[in-house]
Amino acid sequence: MKKIIKWIMKCILTLIGIFIANGLWASFGESLWHFWTEKTLNFTTFGIETFKDKIYLEIAKGFCERPSLMVLTYIMAMLLVFIIIALIGKKTIARSFEFKKLENVISKIAKVYLCISIFFIMILITRVEYVNKAIIHFGQLINIISPYVDDPNEEKYRARFAQIRSRNEYYVLINELETIAKENKQYIPKFDIW
């Protein structure tokens, strides 16, 4: 009977923790993530417009698997290196107990590699997230305005989207779509163009 009560209490505490975490995320997490996204994208492009425009070239491609595969590749490479470091460390330690210093060096290298890998994976995930949000925002706007434009114009907007080469071209296109939505008193989802 005590096990059941303990289990129920653990479930209740877990739910309370989830509710608190959800509230904290809604209050602080989203704005912190938005701040992180903007600063990370600026850091990775060094604020240079031509580097920023390369992200918009990727947006113009629409959804594709390349970013997901890159994240997966980085994670798998990180795991492979850790396995190799662990095996080398075990073999060295197994040979002699005199290699404690080498074990410490391998441990420090693994920690540094882990930190660097996590940093680069977070940058990649941030970039992929922004690209996907930009594509989704365009798709939402097209769906919102589709009753108010004829088919040839809708296809022209899609063609322009596929040919985007810079942030400015993306901004102009999104602004046109938002203007059409506003003229027809439609809700416009919020999206901050970076």
Instruction: Report the predicted TM-score, pTM, of the whole model to 2 decimal places.
Output: 0.62
pLDDT attached to residue 103: 64
Residue with more model confidence, 23 or 143: 143
pLDDT attached to residue 87: 66
pLDDT in tens, 75-96: 777 777 777 766 666 555 545 5
Highest mean pLDDT among 4-8, 62-66, 130-134, 179-183: 179-183
- Say if residue 128 is exposed, middle or buried (CB neighbours under 10 Å; 0-12, 13-18, 19+): middle
pLDDT attached to residue 44: 72
